[in-house]
Amino acid sequence: MSGTNKKIALFGEIMLRLKPFGKERFFQTPNFEAVFGGSEANVAVSLSILGKSVKFITALPRNAIGQGARRALSYYNVQVAGPESDGRLGIYFLEDGACQRPSQVVYDRAGSCFSVSEPESYDFDGYFSDAEWFHVSGVSPAVSEPAMNSVMAAVCAAKKAGCAVSVDLNYRKKLWQYGKKAGDVMRVLASKADVLIANEEDIQNCLGLPLKNFTTPAESYRHLCDDVKKQFPNIKIVAVTLRHSYSADRNGWSAVLSGRTGFYESAHYDIENIVERVGAGDSFAAGLIFGLLEYAQEPSGESRALDFATAASCLKHSVSGDFNLAQKDEIETLMNGNGTGRIQR
């Protein structure tokens, strides 16, 4: 895995996000913020901000909302590829949690252009002709059977083109409503991945591998990563995020990585006064992909990639909206130990 001028390609659904202002509850106010987001779209924007050449493959409606989604990605220099058709964009509603009240997400994405588009709607061979890496999450195949079929076709085309493939398991229990079980689909995707990203619940729900208790948490996660690699010998790198939720406003955040060169633990961040945690996992995925490419030639490349990803996702908690707007120098400053938040003059 080495950095080149080739593109990082991603496949998924970008949605319209509607959220009450601040910490207000649904319909406590008649006003909702409208922004765009979605797992793979969030990763695409982060990677572009970090300086990578990025292509986001999706299906959009041929209307003003679809044009708005395209502009939101283009603003961050993300190339958008894929079909346009008459139809609708998926929507999700977000109610931000506070104190001991958790955040809530309500999906309204049935019948969206992405959910009804079959594999033949996409030119995957063409999309991957200039790509070196392909990323997808478990959200996309959970949306619908056509979306699942398209994800499988995309992964096969990416492998055929010689791309490295990363899969974020990203289990969403409110999805998977079309008759397929998450484990049946995600085990197939995992069998084609070079890099797997998840938390412990994702691994249990999607791969059927529980976290076993050992003397220390690090040892438990090391064994979990080993179990993943034993079942899926194609996977070279497993990265697991660890979130400790003390309340909606204060979380602990860290990660571990089992790679080609060893097992690594990141720094632990105690994040207080959280602005927004949505998109933190996507920021981790983007940071990891960036780090594995950026630091590929360094002896400690995998360890640095983990530290960069964890710092990037930590900073996302300070940014509202789905997209992480943290810059490379900001992330490196934090990963190198400066987390004071002082004004940089």
The answer to whether the Cα torsion of 11, 17, 22, 26 is positive or negative is negative
* Closest to 74 in 3D by CA, of 90, 58, 89: 58
CB neighbour burial string for 274-291, b if at least 16 within 10 angstroms, e if fewer: bebbbbbbbbbbbbbbbb
- State the pLDDT confidence band at 150, using cuts at 50, 70 and 90: very high
Q: What is the pLDDT of residues 196-252, one digit of tens each?
A: 999 999 999 999 999 988 878 888 999 999 999 999 999 999 999 999 989 989 999
The whole-number pLDDT of residue 218 equals: 84
The whole-number pLDDT of residue 130 equals: 96
Helix, strand, coil percentages for the chain (3-state, nearest 5): 35, 25, 40
Percent of all residues in the chain with a pLDDT value above 90, rounded to a whole number: 84
Distance (Å, rounded) from C-alpha 132 to C-alpha 306? 20
- State the pLDDT confidence band at 50, using cuts at 50, 70 and 90: very high
The alpha carbon torsion through 192, 195, 199, 201 (nearest 10 deg) reads 10
- Over the chain, what is the mean pLDDT? 93
Tell me the mean pLDDT in the region 133-156: 98
For 125, the token pair is: 């061979």
SS3 111: coil
The whole-number pLDDT of residue 4 equals: 59
Long-range contacts of 301-307 (CB under 8 A, 24+ apart): 301/261, 302/237, 302/257, 302/259, 302/260, 302/261, 302/262, 302/264, 303/257, 303/262, 303/264, 304/335, 305/257, 306/239, 306/255, 306/256, 306/257, 306/264, 306/266, 307/266, 307/267, 307/335
What pTM, to 2 d.p., does this model score? 0.94
Given a contact cutoff of 8 angstroms between Cβ atoms, the answer to whether 47 and 40 are in contact is: no
The answer to whether residue 282 scores a pLDDT higher than 90 is yes
End-to-end CA distance of the chain: 36
Q: What is the pLDDT of residues 152-188, one digit of tens each?
A: 999 999 999 999 999 999 999 999 999 999 999 999 9
Domains belonging to the chain, first-starting first, are 7-335 (3.40.1190.20)
Cα 192 to chain centroid, rounded: 17
The whole-number pLDDT of residue 221 equals: 93
How is residue 35 annotated by DSSP? E
The identity of residue 267, as a single letter, is A
* Closest to 274 in 3D by CA, of 131, 50, 41, 97: 97
Given a contact cutoff of 8 angstroms between Cβ atoms, the answer to whether 257 and 237 are in contact is: yes
The whole-number pLDDT of residue 339 equals: 59
The answer to whether residue 3 scores a pLDDT higher than 60 is no
Distance (Å, rounded) from C-alpha 316 to C-alpha 336? 17
The answer to whether residue 7 scores a pLDDT higher than 60 is yes
The whole-number pLDDT of residue 343 equals: 44
The whole-number pLDDT of residue 345 equals: 43
Q: What is the pLDDT of residues 297-333, one digit of tens each?
A: 898 999 999 999 999 999 999 999 999 999 999 999 9
- State the pLDDT confidence band at 5, using cuts at 50, 70 and 90: confident
For 263, the token pair is: 């097992």
* Closest to 126 in 3D by CA, of 151, 167, 148, 154: 154
Given a contact cutoff of 8 angstroms between Cβ atoms, the answer to whether 214 and 223 are in contact is: yes
The whole-number pLDDT of residue 22 equals: 86
